A and B are shown apart, each in its own frame.
Chain A
Amino acid sequence: MSYLTLSLALIFVLIPIFLSKTLKLGLEKDTIIATVRSIIQLLAVGYVLTFVFDAENFIYITLMVILMIAAATQNAQKKGAAIKGITWKLIGTFVFVEVLTQAILLGFQITPPTAQYIIPISGMVVGNSMVLSILFLNRFTSEIETRQNETELILSLGGTPKQAIHLSLMASIKASMIPTIESQKTIGLVQLPGMMSGQIIAGADPVQAVQFQLLILFLLLTTAAVTSIMLGFLSYPTLFNKQMQMLKLDTETNNS
């Protein structure tokens, strides 16, 4: 695809801008910023990936993954600002999920240990983990507030913080995992996944594209479960002090 042809794709940006202006939605500025950012970011990533793939150096691969984790943390931590130490909890979760998935993929030789595989898969794993974290943190902070009476009731009856927060924690973990599980139920029927579509458009064998897509789907199930559960169990203890008293959420710093 030439850059001239690609520029015609901007028609798809003009349509929402036109609709936003007509209906006075006020989304024109955000749409333009999102478009410009995506062009710059993706082009930059394209050039960086070309360099990293050519170099085949483990240090560059690691740096790319660190960059992904840093960007994902920066994005997700805004939603959990009310939870003490959320930045390190997110970094810990993303690193663990990345190491776990790559260890299985490389350890069992499911994928080859090359930048061409490690980086895109890491992007999908960390990206999915970030979305899951945001879903989890959004739900968890609202569950804590809405279930405050129940939480205090269990504490007042002699329950531990873990018992008191159990319902909020489980509801948040479940709610954050549902989109991943539900989208997998209809995959191929309602939507063709982006990665598979991209491979098919690029001329790959559709069956091979499906095989890779299945690999990614299964990977994302683990990512979803591990991210929500790990982040949940890392987060809840910071809501209580040593006397098993519930601390107030600093909701003023929570942008959710």
Chain B
Amino acid sequence: MNTLNDTAVQFKQVSYSDGELQIIKNVTGTFPKGKITTLVGPSGAGKTTLFRLCNGLISPDSGEILINGKNINSYEPTELRRMAGLALQSATMLSGSVYKNLSMPLTLQGEEFSEAAAKDLLKDVGLDTDFLHRNVKDLSGGQRQKVSIARTLVNKPKILLLDEITSSLDRVSQEEIETLIKKINNNYQVTIIWITHNLQQALSIGEYTWVMMNGELVESGESSLLSHPQNDKVKHFVKGDTE
């Protein structure tokens, strides 16, 4: 797909099991630097596990994962997690205000996050600045997702891992988030890897796509592959025969 210098994340024969169950099976592939790559596949394909491996929340049983050319084991776990930021569908919030949530990444490092910087970030993700002192309990699903993404951005990640962040949102919120992610990709030069169930979204927003099934990477390349897949399993999946 691309040369090593253009690669943000590289998987080399990576396998991972949870007890007896093998979730990731000998995955080899790359995610290009500074681009948006979508990760599609039926439920249970191992997509979220792949993200947890990138973020260092779990380690592979075998194989190697390289981020910016370096094995992830050579990074300090905290450094790796700040570099490969994760935002989940659940958009878990810490109880309290939006400001408390946005401050959290820097609080963890013993630093302060100024209100002015927090307000700038809110504007960047398309939220009014008066949201800053609002309780997270009072936010809608789309607003929570924006706060969750903004919170991940506080760490200035080089890679942003987005796990089904729009799947529970209405069409308007989905479009807002899509626009936001494109803006983040352009403004912050962040590599985006986005898990989505929505193939139309994968085609429209992602330049590249990985298709995973049953723990394996079955096809990868430019997103147009979803319109003309080569692999029979992918053809069935795109047609909607696989879930």
Q: Which A residues lie at the B interface, using CB under 8 A?
A: 149-150, 152-160, 163, 243-246
Q: Is B33 an interface residue (CB 8 A)?
A: no
Residues of B within 8 A of A244 (CB): 56, 77-78
- Check: B151 CB closer than 8 A to any chain A CB: yes
Q: Are the CB atoms of B59 and A154 closer together than 8 Å?
A: no
Residues of A within 8 A of B56 (CB): 243-245
CB within 8 Å: A-B pair count: 52
Q: Which of B58, B90, B109 contacts A158 (CB 8 A)?
A: B109
In the assembled complex, B117 has its CB within 8 A of some CB on chain A: no
The answer to whether A154 and B104 touch across the interface, beta carbons within 8 angstroms, is: yes
CB proximity of A156 to chain B, nearest CB, Å = 5
Chain A residue numbers with a CB within 8 Å of B58 are: 245
User: CB < 8 Å: which of B59, B79, B90, B151 contacts A157?
Assistant: B151
Chain B residues in 8 Å Cβ range of A157:
81-82, 85, 104-105, 108, 151-152, 155
Q: Which 4 pairs of residues, A with B, have the shortest CB-CB distance?
A: A158-B82, A244-B77, A159-B108, A149-B92
Of A149, A158, A159, A245, which is in contact with the most chain B CB atoms at under 10 Å from its CB? A158
Partner of A243, one of B77, B85, B92, B155: B77
CB within 8 A of A160: which of B59, B78, B82, B155?
B78
Whole-angstrom CA separation of A245 from B58 in the bound complex = 6
Contact of A245 with B59 in the complex, beta carbons under 8 Å: yes
Closest to B56 in A: A243
Say yes or no for B94: interface residue by CB 8 A criterion: yes
- Inside 8 A of A152's CB, which chain B residues have their CB? 57, 92
Max chain B C-beta neighbours (<10 A), residue from A150, A153, A156: A156
Which one of B59, B73, B78, B92 contacts A159 once the chains associate, using CB atoms below 8 Å?
B78
Interface residues of B, CB < 8 Å — how many?
23
Report the minimum CB–CB distance from A121 to chain B (whole Å).
42
Q: In the complex, which residues of chain A have a beta carbon less than 8 angstroms from the beta carbon of B196? A: none
Enumerate chain B residues within 8 angstroms of A158, measured Cβ to Cβ.
78-79, 81-82, 105, 108-109, 155
Chain B residues in the interface with A (C-beta under 8 A) = 55-59, 73, 77-79, 81-82, 85-86, 90, 92, 94, 104-105, 108-109, 151-152, 155
Report the bound CA distance from A157 to B102 in whole Å: 11
Cα distance A153–B151 when bound, in Å?
Answer: 11
Q: In the complex, how many angstroms separate the beta carbon of B4 from the nearest chain A beta carbon?
A: 25
Check B92–A153 contact: CB distance below 8 A.
yes
CA distance A149 to B163 in the complex (A): 14
> How many Å lie between the Cα of A78 and that of B93 in the bound state?
33
Per the bound structure, the CA–CA distance linking A150 and B108 in Å amounts to 14
Cα(A163)–Cα(B111), bound, Å: 14
CB pair B92–A155 under 8 Å, yes or no, is no
Chain B residues within an 8 Å CB radius of A154: 104, 108
A156→B57 contact, CB < 8 A = yes
Bound-state CA distance A160–B79 (Å) is 11
Q: Once the chains are docked, how many angstroms separate the CA of A156 from the CA of B82?
A: 7
Residues of B within 8 A of A155 (CB): 57, 81
CA distance A156 to B90 in the complex (A): 14
Which chain B residue shows the least CB distance to A241?
Answer: B59
Task: Provide a sorted-by-A list of 17 A–B residue pairs whose CB atoms are within 8 angstroms.
Answer: A149-B90, A150-B92, A153-B92, A154-B104, A155-B57, A156-B57, A157-B82, A157-B85, A157-B105, A157-B108, A158-B105, A158-B108, A158-B155, A160-B78, A243-B73, A244-B56, A245-B59
A163 near B92 with CB under 8 A, answer: no
| Chain A residues positioned under 8 Å from B155 (CB to CB) | 157-158
CA distance A150 to B100 in the complex (A): 14
Q: Which residues of A contact B104 (CB under 8 A)?
A: 154, 157
